[in-house]
Chains A and B, each alone.
Chain A
Amino acid sequence: MSEAFQISPLDIQQYSLENGLRVVLNPDDRAPVVSVAVYYDVGSRNERQDRTGFAHLFEHMMFQGSENVPKAGHFQHIMKAGGTMNGTTSSERTNYYETLPADQLPLALWLESDRMRSLAVTQENLDNQREAVKEEKRLRYDNQPYGQIFDLINEMIYKNFANAHSTIGSMEHLDAASVEDVQEFFRIYYAPNNAVIVLSGSFDIEEAKRLIEKYFGDIPSQPLPPSLDVSEPKDVVTKYREWEDKHAHFPAFLFGWKIPPRRSSEFYALYLAGKILYDGDSSRLYQKLVKGEESVIQLFGFTDERRGPSSIFVGAIPKPDKDLSKIRETIMQEIESIATHGPTSEEMEKIENQLINDAIRMRQSSMARAQQLAEFALYDGDAGLINDELDALLAVKKEDIRNAVGKFLHTDNRALLDILPAGAQS
């Protein structure tokens, strides 16, 4: 069907300001809204060994005011303009974004430029946000059953500290951080030449260019941040670990494999192998384990897409009294079956339709477009790659999937985390 179904490419313009800020414009008038995404090339992978969690703490500080925007003013200005906003931190980058009614574009540029050029870092705000971050850690990790398992398995998969340590980081490190540390981090990483800004939605191109120059043009560039080595040995570091989860009522396990970087042909093939294994009710593992053997309460899997070595996970929460080793055997048998025979033609047809559906759905949302464009611009230096992504995925052949699964998803390259329930039993 791909011959009959053409997706029109996104309209993209890209250029850089003199200070090095990379700009991507994606005009699209389908809805009267505009999204602005600013991506800084700093994530937990850039952190020092004694300052883990710093990239994320810093994301909080970016909402604490700048020369012309008071503390919490960012939230207030965006919301009273009818907008939504947030920021997130990953291993790869820190992003800030807002979606607004289209006429409020200048507000977004004013706010983003003011914090890029003049963030206000005070002891009081730092103390306050350290507390907010500690509550975020308690909420998402410490107080959640299975909340810490992905941080634990990353330490088993990756050897390189840049890749292995968690984004939420150590609370002791955050406590040790001073206002001067935060200011230094800002100077090194929050420079225009270390960032990308994307506009997607309803706007006039010339007006947008003029406004971006007005608000961002005079922010000085900085020396480039120190270079980073994210290289990894071929196989995972630790193959097996048991961990007691004090909030879990059921045992669970998690497999993790180390795989090649995003956008490599092998990564694409493994991403599609994942879809075949665990994505949807017709997937192999759902049909085998949730139906068939009826042995698991929950089955999940996903790929963690990074610029450097990446990973793929499959996990399950088995029903009580089910034999965990049998479930693991079933998973490995399906993987081996793909490594031997490859996917079926029916599976390839399903993937094709799902990829086309996903690609068109992504195009509906100015924020989804802005975020993907920002990633391609920041990681690959070319936002236009968004228009090649679907074709690259559709070009993956059965044999590519078979070969990649055989090469990477084997037990030498596999971390297994066994989660033992220590929570109150019902």
Chain B
Amino acid sequence: MSAPFRQTPPEALAPVSFEIGQPIRTRFGNGLDVVIFPDDRLPLASFRLALQSGDINDPPNATGLTSAMTSMLTEGTSDHTSAQLAEKIERLGAGLSANASDDFTTIAASCLSLYSSEILQLMAEVALQPSFPEDELDLYRRNTIEHLKFQRSQPPFLANEQAARLIYGEHPYSKISPKPEDVENIDRDAIVRFHHQQMAASRAMFIAVGDVDPDAFLKELQHFFADWKQGSDALDVETQPSSRSSRSITIVDRPGSAQSNIVISNLAIKRTDPDYFPLIVMNQVLGAGASSRVFMNLREEKGYTYGAYTRLETKKLAGDFEATAEVRTAVTGDSLKEFFHEFDRIRDEKVDEVELDDAKNFLTGVFPLRAETQEGLTNLIVNQNLYGLPEDYLQTYRDNVRAVTPDDVQRVAGRYVRPDEMAIVIVGDAADVRPQVEPFAESIEIFDTDGNPK
């Protein structure tokens, strides 16, 4: 029998307060939004130049153009070759990269704050004066095509490719990567025209977090970006994700697989939906972490898997709910049974107050941890601004989590966890998997690892 103080968890110490201040916000005459958040904890700086357009804004018949244009920004400018750029950036011990996501195009840089000016100049150069050398584009095309082939050996890619297709239908979110022929067709003229059209100040935002003097930094930013052309706003994507009316199973046959990669998903909400807070709390109860229900069930009780989780993907225009696990082949069907049991339970039974409080306490407690590093703090500020969340979003986040009730959780579970229309995708050995999963849906389709129906 241990001492009394060991028998129950200890009381917390006096709380340490944590507040995020408001950044300095301004807009240049050309429409460029500027957000500056001084952070002098260490002599570091992080910068983002982001456009309100991403892969989903590829022109019709030009899938992959946004990604190609973005990747090529750092492959040569009017003043520097690709190799010279890499050398200049790394000689400063800094990082500078350009990436496109579904919704946004971002040039990101981080450096010792004493090199802020040098990095800012390079950011402006790659954004505004890329030269898109033909030989670098040729290499990009060939490397990307090889990479596309390579990722077909990775089970998570194969599962996500099918899930996105099934959930989003005709919407551009349905394509998680271009096809080799799309990449083959990208030419320099198209990239130059597209860059001219997309790289417009009115769609852009510059976010700086770091050990910088705001006034001096604004002056410098003006020097580099005030003359940037205004351009036009990004075009809206009109297509809606398709709606589904029944549950389906898609098996990607990967003979010799040691496991089944399971992804079960349905449409949910976009990032700015008012149900966001109840839904993240619901997801925390159900499957977001190692103390959530599906992990406790499939791993800790059943030992089917190393990890089982649920996840919300909330993008600018739409989003999805998904459950994932990698399980040994023999328990693929049993795992589906447990997932659906948990989906029904969170829909049918009201979550008890203790379990709800645990979930809310995680989300509020972990919030300051996310701002501990400058990169973490930058991500919070970037997301709030790019998704157009309220200006007091970071300040009210924890209150919004605390306000969620058991009724809210049950309501959003009923609305966004929809077992009857889920797309079940399994990457594994079809011969072993198929008989186990047949009872779970009326239709089964089988694909090969090239993405073609079998």
Contacts and interface: CB of A to CB of B under 8 A. Distances in A.
B137 to A, nearest CB: 13
A80 B11 CA distance: 13
A424 B449 contact: yes
A32 B86 contact: no
A72 B43 CA distance: 40
Given A132-B299, A247-B256, A364-B44, A356 B155 contact: no
Instruction: Give the size category of A's interface with B.
Output: 35 or more
Interface stretch (A46-54, A97-105, A155-163, A233-241): A97-105
A379 interface: no
A104 B12 contact: yes
Interface in A104-124: 104-107, 109-110, 113-114, 118
B256 A246 contact: yes
Contact of B155 (A143, A297, A361): A143
A84 B366 contact: yes
A105 B256 contact: no
Contacts of A130: 303
Chain B facing A: main interface SS: mixed
Given A82-B366, A128-B303, A110 B153 contact: no
B112 A357 contact: yes
A32 B2 contact: no
B372 A365 contact: yes
A355 B304 CA distance: 43
Interface in B426-454: 448-450
A135 B327 contact: yes
A350 B90 contact: yes
A136 interface: yes
Contacts of A114: 6
Contacts of B25: none
Instruction: Give the size category of B's interface with A.
Output: 35 or more
Interface stretch (B272-280, B289-297, B381-389): B289-297
A5 B112 CA distance: 10
B1 to A, nearest CB: 9
Contacts, number: 230
A255 to B, nearest CB: 20
Nearest to A363: B42
B289 A79 contact: yes
A242 interface: no
Interface stretch (A173-181, A189-197, A279-287, A389-397): A279-287
A250 interface: yes
Contact of B93 (A30, A67, A127, A353): A353
B142 interface: yes
A31 to B, nearest CB: 4
Contacts of B303: 127-132, 135
A142 interface: yes
B328 interface: yes
Contact of B42 (A127, A129, A364): A364
Nearest to A421: B153
Contact of B369 (A82, A135, A143, A246): A82
Nearest to A349: B91
Interface stretch (B15-23, B122-130, B405-413): B15-23
Interface string B340-367: 0000000000000000011101111111
Given A81-B361, A83-B365, A68 B290 contact: no
A135 B42 contact: no
A23 to B, nearest CB: 18
A353 B92 CA distance: 6
A145 interface: yes
A36 to B, nearest CB: 13
For the complex of A and B, the 8 pairs showing the least CB-CB separation, nearest first, are: A82-B365, A353-B93, A131-B303, A357-B93, A281-B86, A106-B10, A80-B358, A282-B86
19 contacts: A31-B371, A76-B358, A80-B358, A83-B366, A84-B369, A101-B368, A106-B12, A107-B10, A131-B304, A135-B306, A139-B326, A143-B155, A247-B153, A280-B90, A290-B143, A294-B142, A294-B143, A353-B91, A353-B94
Given A32-B18, A102-B16, 10 more contacts: A79-B290, A82-B368, A103-B16, A118-B2, A207-B13, A282-B91, A353-B93, A353-B112, A356-B93, A426-B449
Interface of B: 2, 5-18, 41-44, 82-83, 86-87, 89-94, 111-112, 114, 139, 142-143, 146-147, 149-150, 152-155, 254-259, 289-291, 295-296, 299-301, 303-306, 326-328, 357-359, 361-369, 371-375, 448-450
